[in-house]
Structure 1
Amino acid sequence: MATRRIISSEKTLLEKDDRIGSSPAANEKSNITPAVPTSVILKLLAFTLAMIVVPIGSYFLTVDNLFKGNATYAGATAAIMANMVLIGYIIVAMAEDQSDTLGPAQDGVERKKDR
């Protein structure tokens, strides 16, 4: 079997393990920024709150005031409002995704026009 010789300038395994944080990444500062931007999280929380409040609120506002106690119509209104919140979230998410991909290219076009 072949054995590996240690070169005098190379550290042995024991010398490498003596140091705390012997990995190459240990000397670097850690990057603790979240993978998802804060604005995205806030939009998700806002639409989550709207998904709870809007259908329930629309049910209780319409059951007595608009539909005179008919819970079926008020329930249908609440379901429609839940779908409207969901559609609104999808539209906002798609607009945000498009602005991320088209944003830098449009900025460059606008800058050329300004000059």
Structure 2
Amino acid sequence: MTTRRIVSEKTVLERDDKDFAPKAGEKSNITPAVPAHVIYKLLGFTFAMIVAPIGTYFLTVDTVFKGNSTWAGASAAIMANVVLIGYVIVAFQEDQSDALEAAEKEKESKKTT
């Protein structure tokens, strides 16, 4: 047995763009979900997470540790942790600065009213 499909309802794919247009008096919000500077920081730290440990390993395996790959691997692991901790610190500072800016804007809006 088959079921009948209700013809009057449109699926998401069948709807027109005007169904999703902002209503009268409503502004469209087309800002990106993540600001560009956040993406650039993430890409920079991703690059550092790849280059710093591998570079540290190959620079220290022959020059500092005289062929001892265990110590060179340990130093590479330490560098990976340094990059990770640096990213966490930068993320916390950015979060705090965003909160301070929001509080300052709220304070200014209260002064004008």
Task: Report if TM-score (shorter chain) is over 0.5.
Answer: yes
Q: 1:98: how far off?
A: 0.2
Instruction: Report deviation, 1:92.
Output: 0.1
User: What's the offset of the Cα at 1:102?
Assistant: 1.1
Q: Which residue of 1 aligns with 2:59?
A: 61
Structure 1 residues 70-81: aligned runs within 5 Å: 70-81=68-79
Who is 2:32 aligned against? 34
Q: Which ranges in structure 2 are unaligned for 5 or more consecutive residues?
A: 1-7, 9-15, 108-113
By how many angstroms is 1:23 displaced? 2.7
CA 1:105–1:32: 2 relative to 1, 3 Å = closer
Over the aligned positions, Cα root-mean-square deviation in angstroms equals 2.8
SS in structure 2 opposite 1:25? Answer: coil
User: What per-residue deviation string (whole Å, max 9, x for no partner) do you get for residues 47-104 of structure 1?
Assistant: 0000000000000000000000000000000000000000000000000000000135
Give the aligned length: 91
How high is the TM-score relative to the length of structure 1?
0.67
Relative to structure 1, the CA distance from residue 70 to residue 26 in structure 2 (aligned partners, 3 Å threshold; closer, same or farther) is: same
Larger Rg computed on CA atoms: 1
Q: Which runs of 4+ in 1 moved over 2 A?
A: 20-24, 26-33, 103-109
Per the TM alignment, residue 32 of structure 1 is displaced from its structure 2 partner at its CA by 3.6
In 2, the alpha carbon distance for the partners of 1:42 and 1:104 equals 22
Provide the TM-score with structure 2 as the length reference: 0.68
What is the correspondence of 1:1-115 to structure 2 with a 5 Å cutoff? 21-23=17-19, 25=21, 31-105=29-103
How far apart, CA to CA, are the structure 2 residues paired with 1:70 and 1:82?
19
